[in-house]
A = this chain, B = another copy of it.
Amino acid sequence: MDGQPVTPRGYRSVARNMGLKDGEDDFAAVVSEVPARSAAVFTRSRFAGPSVLLSRTAAARQSSRGMVVLSRNANVATGRAGAAHAEEVRRRVAEIAGVDPEDLVIGSTGVIGRPYPIESIRAGMDELSWPFPEADFDAAAKAIMTTDTHPKCFSVRCGPAVLTGIAKGVGMIEPNMATLLAFFFTDADIPADALDAIFRRVVDRTFNALSIDTDTSTSDTAAVFANGLAGPVDHAGFEAALYACALHLVRMIAADGEGAGKLIEVRVTGARDDAQAKRVGKSVVNSPLVKAAVHGGDPNWGRVAMAVGKLEDETDIEPARVRISFGDLPMHPEEPGDALLARAAAYLSGDEVVIGVDLGIAEGAFTVYGCDLTEGYVKINADYTT
C-alpha cells in the first residue's frame, strides 16, 4: 500500500472546459471499459439536487460503471429545467460511451440556484467521442475542483489490484453519509454486497468524520467502482486500502479547507460509546472559538472545555474526569503553568494540531477532522457569487 502514481486497469476518462469556469476544466467523466460493481452514498439534505436524485436511483443497482461531473454550478434549486438538464447531460455522456444512463453516477458542485449554461455544455459534449483516452485521474480531480487550491487524488495498491480515489471539497462541508464529491476506482474483483458494506464502514470513519464549517452541501456524493480486471482481493485488505485512501483524501480536504492554515484532528477517547465520542469530537472541531484559537496559536484549552461542556444532554460527562491535551501536552485538569502554555503555543503553531479529549467514562473512541478558522474563510465566502 503506497501513494505511487499507479492506476487501476480498464478505466477511461475525459476532462474539458464546457463554459462554467473561465477556461479551466469544469467537466469530467470516468468510465470503466467493462461492467463494474459499485456502491454510493449521498447527502441527506432536504434540498438535494437533481444530480443526487438521479444518482441515487443508479446507485441502487450496485452496477454503475463510472461518473460524470460538472463543477462550479450545483444545479440545485433550479426547478424543472435543472432536472431536465441533469438528465440530458447524463443521457448524452452515456450515449457517447455506449452504456446505459443508469450506469453513470452524475455529480454537481458549485453555486446553488443558477441555471446551467446548457447550450455551451451541449456544444462541449458534441465534441466527445468514445473511446475516451486512458484514465487521467489527476485531470479528473482538477476538473471537479471549486474553491479547492489543489487537486486531491491518491492511489493505493491492494494485492493484485489498485485503488485510486479523487475528491474535492473545501467549504459547506459537514457531510452526513458522504462528502461533497469523492470517487474511488479499482480493478479489484469484489462482490457488490461486500463492496457496499465496506464502503459504508469506511465512509463513516473518514468522510463522515470531517467538518470544515458545519454546513452540509446539497450535492454530497461518494461512490466506488470496481471493475474486477485485477481479480479477487482479500476483503479485509481491501477495506484497509480503501480506508487508507479515503483518510488521505479527508486529511487533504481538511488541510485545504476554505482559508485553512492548519489541519485539526480531535481524538476523543474514554467515552460511553463511539457515538458519544463522535458528538464530542464534532462539538470541539466545529467550535469557531476553538478553531480561531488554533489559528492564532493560542493555547486556550478552556475553549475545548467549553465545547465539551455545551453538550448539555451528555449528563455522564463529569468536568473533573475530563482530560484535555494539545498533542502530548496535558492541559486540563493539570492547570498548566506558563512554561507548559508556552510549549503548547509552540505546538499549535505547526501545520497539524491534535487535540486530545479523554472523557474518563468507558472505552468509546472516535477521531474527527477539521481545520482552523481564518480571515481567509470569511473573505472567500463574503462575495462568492457576486
Task: Tell me the A residues contacting B by CB distance below 8 Å.
Answer: 44-48, 74, 76-79, 111-115, 171-172, 174, 176, 213-218, 286-289, 292-293, 295-303, 305-312, 314-315, 317-319, 331-333, 335, 345, 373-375, 377-386
Contacts and interface: CB of A to CB of B under 8 A. Distances in A.
Contact of A378 (B111, B112, B295, B308): B295
10 contacts: A47-B306, A48-B309, A111-B300, A115-B335, A216-B306, A288-B381, A296-B381, A296-B384, A299-B386, A377-B378
A309 B386 contact: no
B176 A312 contact: yes
A300 B215 contact: no
A284 to B, nearest CB: 11
A141 B44 CA distance: 45
A258 to B, nearest CB: 9
Contact of A77 (B287, B297, B332): B332
Contact of A305 (B112, B174, B298, B335): B112
B289 A113 contact: no
Contacts of A78: 335
B301 A113 contact: yes
A292 B295 CA distance: 18
Contact of A46 (B113, B299, B311, B333): B311
Contacts of A386: 296-300, 345
B305 A76 contact: yes
Given A79-B335, A378-B375, A385 B298 contact: yes
A335 B305 CA distance: 44
Nearest to A295: B382
B378 A286 contact: no
Of A217, A289, A311, A315, most B-chain CB atoms within 10 Å: A289
A306 B172 contact: yes
Nearest to A81: B335
A373 B213 CA distance: 12
A46 B113 CA distance: 41
Contact of A308 (B47, B335, B379, B384): B47
B46 A218 contact: no
B384 A293 contact: yes
Nearest to A301: B113
Contacts of A303: 112, 172, 215
A385 B294 CA distance: 12
A309 B264 CA distance: 27
Contact of A302 (B44, B74, B379): B74
A312 B312 CA distance: 22
A296 to B, nearest CB: 3
Contacts of A345: 386
Of A300, A312, A375, A378, most B-chain CB atoms within 10 Å: A378
A36 B157 CA distance: 74
Contacts of A309: 45-48, 216, 218
Contacts of A306: 45, 47, 112, 172, 215-218
B79 A215 contact: no
Contacts of A307: 215
